[in-house]
Amino acid sequence: MNVKRCDIILPTCGQTALIKDCIESLIKSTRYPVRLIAIDNGASEEASSYLKEVSGSGRLDMVLIKPPENLGWIRSINEGLALSKDSEFVSFQNDDTVFASGWMEELSDVFAKDAGIGIANPEWELPEGQDVETRAGELKKYAGQTVDMDWCRGHCLVVKREVVDKIGGLDPVYIPVYYDDRDYSLKAIEAGYRCVKAKGAFVYHIRNVTMKKTMHQQKISALMERNGRIFYKRWGYPLRVVFALSDLAGSKGILRKMCMDQNKVVVLSRKGDKVPYEHTNIKILGFPGAFFGIAALLYIMSNRSRKHQKKTDFIFTDDRRFYSFLKPFMRFIPADVIFRDSVASLAEEAVRLTKEKKGKDKGSIV
């Protein structure tokens, strides 16, 4: 039986000030039962001394690992997972983060409300001039609310035990770092789970401080390029698809499918119409009803000037009137325009075409 606890796996690399801010905020702001599994990868005596002091202080349930060499991010997380066998949740945590009050309590509530949620991020952006607790207080009005995500970011990724049991740890193919959290999220989605952002939880992420101080930019760029090829060969490039639908009410299934497949989705709607699905990959453009056709066409034609990877791949519509309006301009439209007379038949075609396109793209990656 799982223990009500979150095991927080925290790889560190000698950034003493960051490590202190992270751990002290965890102690101060967390009432939910947690255990810190810290992996001391750094060569800083000051950082190591601090970690040893906290470990022996009794202020925090803590396991401290000092490997003989720097394990890097992925190996450190997997080392931590090997020690985490019975906790209800596990968090993969960067040391350039600061915890806000109630962060884990809110995440626990979110998981409890929907058994389909497998991985969750808290909010992490801190507006200029605000402090962490002020921002956390502002977000409390969103308690219990979530938005689906393409993938959960690894700076503070909380995963429930059954997902870990099902998909395991991070894939070593991405060692030492980059694209591992994306791959992990997609494996969870493939296994039937949702990846979400909890709107009412907050953990500030300072962003990439440790990586920039411990790795040259040239190596970071090379790693991202290498691991990007591995990732996109496995999962395919995200496509850019546009929907202009008369039956928005019936569109939740296909919008969700397109987003879960990592595509970038634009919904062209008439102002006042409600889009029934929210996802971080969905952009909604609302135009006045009287000018919908021309406004939508102007948006579609604007894609002609975009770089290849930013251009729209498909435009899907069940709106016969809108499709008829587009017909005279078809040879100028920089995308395939697909019309079907119902959302159900359009959904089938969208799934087929995007799957074929992704398959071709994956085959072209060396």
pLDDT value for 311: 85
Please give the structure tokens belonging to residue 27: 């102690």
pLDDT value for 315: 97
Report CA torsion sign: 316, 319, 321, 322.
negative
Nearest to 47 by CA among 25, 31, 23, 81: 23
Q: Give residue 147's region: left, alpha or beta (phi > 0; psi -120 to 50).
A: beta
User: DSSP E strands: which ranges in 45-173?
Assistant: 62-65, 87-93, 97-99, 117-123, 146-148, 156-160
Helix axes 343-363, 252-260, angle to 10 degrees: 10
Q: In Å, what is the CA distance from 249 to each residue of 119, 269, 277?
A: 28, 12, 10
pLDDT value for 211: 61
pLDDT value for 308: 57
pLDDT value for 99: 98
CA distance 363 to 355: 12
pLDDT value for 303: 77
Residue 123 and residue 198 in contact, taking contact as beta carbons nearer than 8 Å: yes
pLDDT value for 31: 96
- What pLDDT digit, counting tens, does each position of 130-141 carry? 999 999 999 999
- What pLDDT digit, counting tens, does each position of 30-70 carry? 999 999 999 999 889 999 999 999 999 999 999 999 999 99
Which stretches of the chain drop beneath a pLDDT of 70?
A: 208-215, 304-309
CA distance 181 to 171: 9
Domains belonging to the chain, first-starting first, are 3-233 (3.90.550.10), 240-363 (3.40.50.720)
